[in-house]
């Protein structure tokens, strides 16, 4: 099946079809105003370091996924505003044995996606291993096995360029935590297949004087100029830098083209230049909003004197500022609203695309049998001597989808032969985390609201409140509210009347990611084998 020749509906798998990704509309965040305009962010979810490639009249986005599995999400759009998640390019993180346990903050950093030779290529940097590449001629299907293009520590944020003469190059940055230096950009020659660098590379830009923490590179060529789009100034406070030169190795001129200015969009930078078939130019970038992660914005873009102009220059200083609401891109026709899937009734035969594990999954973690309208999560023993769930691999999580939302799930616990030690529930996960847990003792079942403050540092998970119930089935809920991502848990024994439990909890980001919400089913090391939890649904609502 070829990228440029097969109709999209032929690619749709059973699990994707069952979730109706072509028609799913979020209750909590829609960017399309249905009047010819859109409101930023276009995705109020942690699609960090986004990059986009156009193939004909189709647009494909990928983003950083760090340690989560599957990795490298693939989103599709026809109009650049309405996006759906269709696949992952990396079913398991590599090396697989390394990512069998949580590797918080490691893994897939800042990918670039490019269309070349009737295929889609994705390059990314793993700060501990080097620069990888995967490719496919069918973005809805299987992607080829990852290739290690350039081995080394601290090599990050790569972007390829196939020049007019067929020669291939790769630009990348450095992670100071591994390489010992940052704020440098280098260019390497690659083979024409894009599978291997051919030289030691050459530094082309040093940002130490005026552009600190320059990274996140994207490589382009236009009107005889080589362009490196690169953010500088740091994740939450930075700006968008453009470098250009007539020679691929420089010297490069520099110009800042996008900054926060008078807006409330902090750190608007790092993303993708996209041109529509109608010739319009646009720029995707992220905004870091702490617990909500790095959310995705879209800015109008045009060219002046061979420099890109992004957003609107509201103060006349020659540097654009982000727009909040703007006319939608002209793509030749109108398309219906669609958003990434969030809720699920677990009726499909596999997990939905919104779900990721905290490490490479094992087959015994869950079961989703054909015909069963529930998800079974087995009671997997937590790591030995673990004071909390930070290093537990079998957490099933999804991104926060909006500033204000409610997550509701129905869970039944089956301890089997164990008299104690099995528990399952709803979790808001980050460097601090909180749960609403269903557990048991010899006599009955127990609801517990717990918190682990400074979980990343090994602090113990504490019980904040508990309630004994007679049934093994309960409905859990957490309400998340802006601006500080405050979370309030509640439960219901009949699915109708909810009772608040425990203390409000302020969600915190994970390592380089936003907070996540999801499910878990675990066992103590001492408990008898067996046990599981059945989850009837997981619903995101207002």
Residues annotated as catalytic (active site), given as ranges: 49, 215
CA 52 – CA 66 distance, rounded (Å): 18
Token digits for 141? 């299907």
Cross-strand bridge partners of residue 52: 61
Instruction: In whole angstroms, give the CA distance from residue 92 to residue 377.
Output: 19
Q: Position of tokens 């997990």? A: 351
**CB-CB contact of 281 with 275 (8 Å):** yes
Taking the CB of residue 298, how many other CB atoms lie within 10 A of it? 27
Specify whether the CB–CB gap between 280 and 342 falls below 8 A.
Answer: no
* Signed CA dihedral, 248, 249, 250, 253: sign only: positive
Instruction: Enumerate residues 6+ apart whose C-beta is below 8 A from 254.
Output: 205, 210, 211, 241, 242, 243
* Strand 184-190 with 202-206, pairing: antiparallel
Can you give the length of the chain in residues?
542
Q: Which two tokens stand for residue 400?
A: 């926060």
342/42 Cα distance (integer angstroms)? 15
At residue 408, φ and ψ (nearest 5 deg) are -130, 135
Instruction: Using alpha carbons, list the distances in angstroms from residue 93 to 70, 417, 420.
Output: 7, 35, 34
């Amino acid at each position: 099946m070829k990228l440029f020749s097969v109709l999209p509906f032929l690619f749709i798998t059973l699990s994707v079809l069952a979730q109706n990704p072509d028609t799913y509309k979020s209750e909590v965040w829609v960017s399309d105003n249905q009047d010819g305009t859109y409101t930023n962010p276009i995705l109020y979810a942690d699609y960090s370091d986004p990059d986009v490639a156009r193939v004909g009249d189709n647009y494909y986005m990928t983003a950083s996924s760090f340690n989560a599995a599957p990795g490298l999400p693939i989103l599709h759009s026809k109009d650049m505003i309405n996006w759906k998640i269709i696949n992952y390019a990396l079913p398991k993180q590599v090396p697989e044995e390394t990512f069998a346990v949580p590797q918080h903050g490691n893994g897939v950093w800042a990918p670039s996606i490019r269309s070349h030779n009737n295929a889609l290529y994705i390059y990314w940097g793993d700060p501990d291993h080097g620069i990888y590449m995967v490719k496919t001629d069918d973005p809805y299907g299987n992607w080829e096995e990852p290739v290690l293009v350039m081995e080394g520590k601290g090599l990050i944020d790569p972007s390829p360029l196939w020049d007019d003469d067929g020669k291939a190059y790769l630009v990348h940055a450095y992670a100071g935590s591994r390489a010992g230096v940052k704020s440098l950009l280098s260019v390497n020659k690659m083979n024409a297949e894009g599978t291997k660098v051919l030289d030691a590379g050459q530094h082309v830009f040093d940002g130490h004087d005026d552009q600190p923490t320059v990274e996140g590179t994207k490589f382009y060529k236009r009107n005889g100029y080589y362009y490196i789009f690169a953010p500088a100034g740091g994740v939450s406070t930075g700006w968008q830098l453009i470098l250009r030169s007539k020679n691929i190795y420089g010297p490069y001129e520099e110009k800042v083209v996008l900054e926060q200015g008078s807006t409330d969009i902090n750190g608007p930078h790092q993303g993708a230049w996209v041109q529509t078939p109608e010739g319009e130019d646009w720029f995707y970038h992220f905004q870091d909003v702490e617990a909500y992660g790095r959310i995705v914005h879209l800015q109008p873009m045009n060219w002046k004197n061979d420099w890109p102009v992004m957003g609107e220059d509201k103060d006349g200083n020659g540097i654009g500022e982000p727009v909040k609401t703007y006319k939608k891109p002209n793509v030749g026709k109108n398309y219906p609203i669609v958003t990434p899937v969030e809720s699920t009734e677990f009726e499909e035969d596999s997990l939905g695309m919104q779900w990721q594990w905290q490490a490479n999954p094992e087959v015994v973690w869950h079961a989703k049998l054909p015909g069963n309208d529930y998800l079974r999560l087995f009671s997997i023993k937590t790591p030995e001597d673990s004071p909390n769930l930070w290093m537990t691999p079998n957490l099933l999580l999804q991104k926060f989808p909006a500033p204000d939302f409610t997550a509701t799930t129905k869970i039944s616990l089956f301890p089997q032969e164990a008299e104690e030690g099995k528990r399952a529930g709803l979790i808001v996960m980050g460097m601090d985390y909180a749960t609403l847990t269903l557990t048991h003792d010899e006599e009955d079942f127990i609801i517990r609201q717990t918190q682990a403050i400074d979980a990343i540092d090994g602090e113990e998970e504490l019980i904040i409140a508990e309630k004994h119930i007679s049934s093994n089935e309960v409905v859990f809920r957490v309400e998340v509210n802006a601006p500080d991502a405050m979370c309030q848990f509640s439960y219901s024994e009949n699915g109708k009347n909810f009772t608040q439990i425990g203390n409000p909890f302020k969600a915190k980001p994970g390592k380089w990611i936003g907070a996540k919400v999801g499910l878990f089913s675990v066992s103590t090391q001492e408990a008898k084998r067996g046990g599981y939890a059945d989850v009837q649904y997981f619903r995101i609502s207002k």
